[in-house]
Amino acid sequence: MSIQTELQSTITDLVVKGKGILAADESHPTMTKRFKAINVESTEESRRAYRSLLLTTPGLGEFSSGIILFEETLEQKTDDGKLLPQVAAEQGIVPGIKVDKGTLPLANAAGDLITQGLDGLAERLTGYKEHGARFAKWREIYSISALNPTPLGIAANAEVLARYAAICQSLGIVPIVEPEVLLDGDHTIERCLEVTEAVQHAVFHALHRHRVELEYIVLKPSMVVPGKNAQNKASPEEIAEKTLAQLRRSVPAAMPGINFLSGGQTPEEATVNLNAMNAMAGNAPWQLSFSYGRALQQPVLQAWQGKPENIKAAQNALYKRAKLNGAARYGSYTAEMEKE
């Protein structure tokens, strides 16, 4: 199979109406924090048990076209000895892999961060591909303040995202490009719109410079929202209106899919906002979907509590949230569905 054919096959399987991507790629420190909230110790075995629970959820493939995994998950198995990426594939869910190595302060750009992990990336991707991964994910983060992100921060992060994406495509792996404008702060929704637009313009210019083929990438952006400590909150309709305006100004029509991150929103907020966007999108050139981590998993963790007897309840919670977001993909979600 040619690289072009591989990329097309993966995009076709990932960008599917009514489906989104489950982000289950939490690092060890993040998993420790999530497990601590339910009094579960984060060990290799507890993480394996939890991620096995996610992937063996009956019917998950009805609403999830892909799952982003953490490195250790590629070699972990279910209780009956089946590799977790294989379990995903059997549900019709494309296995993917988080490949960045976290952030460090960006020199000469006070307050801005830059993501590590380009060194040796091609070799790591080759190994991940052998373990079944067909797409990858890389996240750059941008905090909003009076001075941030700086022009240097915006340019440097865009360059790294484009380099990562080009390496992925050269190996037949679809890159998810994730420029996350953080929810933290008291900024207005207008300030978030300004920053998000500047960030995405820079990202697509960099992708063009590196000859990344937009037909074979997925954008994973944040929604345009006010800071979580802002005085004025925004309605789902305002969030949808401003996010769609920004996307139309920044994102070329060649892009097949835009899968939003939840970025600290509650599960209900993330679903309502996605629904509002799809209800308002009209003939948008790209599919608007989800790639949620916490907004899908929070009810699962609360139901599970680390107890084997709670697995079915936890899986039911995951299936329900996936189904609700599947409805939001069509703009047909209603609050009444939460009670069903």
Question: So which residues are the catalytic ones?
Answer: 178, 220
Helix (H) or strand (E) run with residue 127 in it = helix 121-130
Q: Residue 179: beta bridge partners?
A: 140
Do residues 260 and 289 lie in contact, with contact meaning Cβ atoms separated by under 8 Å? yes
CB 70 within 8 A of CB 101: no
Token pair listed for 133: 């991964």
Residues 316, 303 contacting (CB under 8 angstroms): yes
Q: Please, which residues bridge with residue 139 across strands? A: 178
What's the rounded Cα separation, in Å, for the pair 201 and 329?
25
199 HSE (CA, 13 A, CB side): 34
Pairing of strands 113-115, 103-105: antiparallel
DSSP output for 165-229:
HHHHHHTT-EEEEEEEE---SS--HHHHHHHHHHHHHHHHHHHHHTT--GGG-EE-PPP----TT
**Within 10 A of 312 (CB to CB), how many other CB atoms are there?**
13
The C-alpha atoms of residue 74 and residue 205 are separated, in whole angstroms, by 33
Q: What is the DSSP string of 11-33?
A: HHHHS-TT-EEEEE---HHHHHH
